[in-house]
Protein backbone atom coordinates (compact mmCIF):
# COMPACT_ATOMS: atom_id res chain seq x y z
CA UNK A 1 0.00 0.00 0.00
CA UNK A 2 1.33 3.51 -0.82
CA UNK A 3 2.61 5.80 1.89
CA UNK A 4 -0.72 7.48 2.61
CA UNK A 5 -4.43 7.24 1.93
CA UNK A 6 -4.34 10.10 -0.59
CA UNK A 7 -1.85 8.23 -2.81
CA UNK A 8 -3.84 5.02 -2.44
CA UNK A 9 -7.08 6.70 -3.53
CA UNK A 10 -5.34 8.23 -6.56
CA UNK A 11 -4.01 4.78 -7.50
CA UNK A 12 -7.48 3.26 -7.01
CA UNK A 13 -9.05 5.96 -9.20
CA UNK A 14 -6.76 5.03 -12.10
CA UNK A 15 -6.67 1.23 -11.73
CA UNK A 16 -8.45 -0.84 -14.35
CA UNK A 17 -9.75 -4.38 -14.11
CA UNK A 18 -6.93 -6.60 -15.45
CA UNK A 19 -9.03 -9.56 -16.64
CA UNK A 20 -12.47 -10.97 -17.27
CA UNK A 21 -15.64 -9.58 -18.77
CA UNK A 22 -14.83 -6.05 -17.56
CA UNK A 23 -11.12 -6.04 -18.45
CA UNK A 24 -9.92 -2.48 -19.04
CA UNK A 25 -12.74 -0.81 -17.12
CA UNK A 26 -11.88 1.40 -14.14
CA UNK A 27 -12.61 -0.44 -10.90
CA UNK A 28 -14.98 2.31 -9.73
CA UNK A 29 -16.97 1.86 -12.98
CA UNK A 30 -17.56 -1.87 -12.47
CA UNK A 31 -21.26 -2.69 -12.15
CA UNK A 32 -22.51 -2.88 -8.59
CA UNK A 33 -23.81 -6.44 -9.02
CA UNK A 34 -20.30 -7.55 -10.05
CA UNK A 35 -18.73 -6.04 -6.93
CA UNK A 36 -21.45 -7.60 -4.75
CA UNK A 37 -20.78 -10.95 -6.43
CA UNK A 38 -17.09 -10.65 -5.50
CA UNK A 39 -18.07 -9.71 -1.95
CA UNK A 40 -20.15 -12.87 -1.68
CA UNK A 41 -17.67 -15.14 -3.52
CA UNK A 42 -14.51 -13.71 -1.99
CA UNK A 43 -12.25 -11.01 -3.35
CA UNK A 44 -8.98 -11.97 -5.10
CA UNK A 45 -5.78 -12.02 -3.07
CA UNK A 46 -3.41 -9.08 -3.03
CA UNK A 47 -3.68 -5.47 -4.14
CA UNK A 48 -6.53 -6.04 -6.58
CA UNK A 49 -8.63 -7.70 -3.90
CA UNK A 50 -7.91 -4.88 -1.46
CA UNK A 51 -8.95 -2.31 -4.06
CA UNK A 52 -12.11 -4.20 -5.02
CA UNK A 53 -13.00 -4.46 -1.33
CA UNK A 54 -12.64 -0.68 -1.02
CA UNK A 55 -14.73 -0.14 -4.18
CA UNK A 56 -17.43 -2.31 -2.57
CA UNK A 57 -17.42 -0.11 0.54
CA UNK A 58 -17.43 3.08 -1.53
CA UNK A 59 -20.37 1.91 -3.63
CA UNK A 60 -22.21 0.64 -0.56
CA UNK A 61 -21.95 4.12 0.96
CA UNK A 62 -22.64 6.07 -2.24
CA UNK A 63 -19.13 7.54 -2.45
CA UNK A 64 -18.27 6.72 -6.08
CA UNK A 65 -18.15 10.45 -6.91
CA UNK A 66 -15.19 10.83 -4.55
CA UNK A 67 -13.16 8.55 -6.83
CA UNK A 68 -14.53 10.12 -10.02
CA UNK A 69 -13.43 13.56 -8.75
CA UNK A 70 -9.95 12.17 -8.08
CA UNK A 71 -9.87 10.74 -11.64
CA UNK A 72 -10.61 14.19 -13.06
CA UNK A 73 -8.26 16.15 -10.83
CA UNK A 74 -5.18 13.93 -10.36
Q: Determine the Cα–Cα distance for residues 12 and 69; give it in Å rounded to an integer.
A: 12
Q: Determine the Cα–Cα distance for residues 64 and 50; give it in Å rounded to an integer.
A: 16
**Length of the chain counted residue by residue:** 74
Mean per-residue pLDDT of the chain: 94
* pLDDT for the residue 4: 80
Contacts with 8 (C-beta within 8 Å, 6 or more apart), sequence order: 1, 2
Please give the average per-residue pLDDT across 7-23, as a whole number: 96
From residue 7, give the alpha-carbon distance in Å to each of 3, 15, 35, 36.
Answer: 7, 12, 22, 25
User: pTM, whole model, 2 decimals?
Assistant: 0.91
Amino acid sequence: MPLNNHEYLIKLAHTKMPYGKYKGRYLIELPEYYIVWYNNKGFPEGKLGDMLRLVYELKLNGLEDLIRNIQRNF
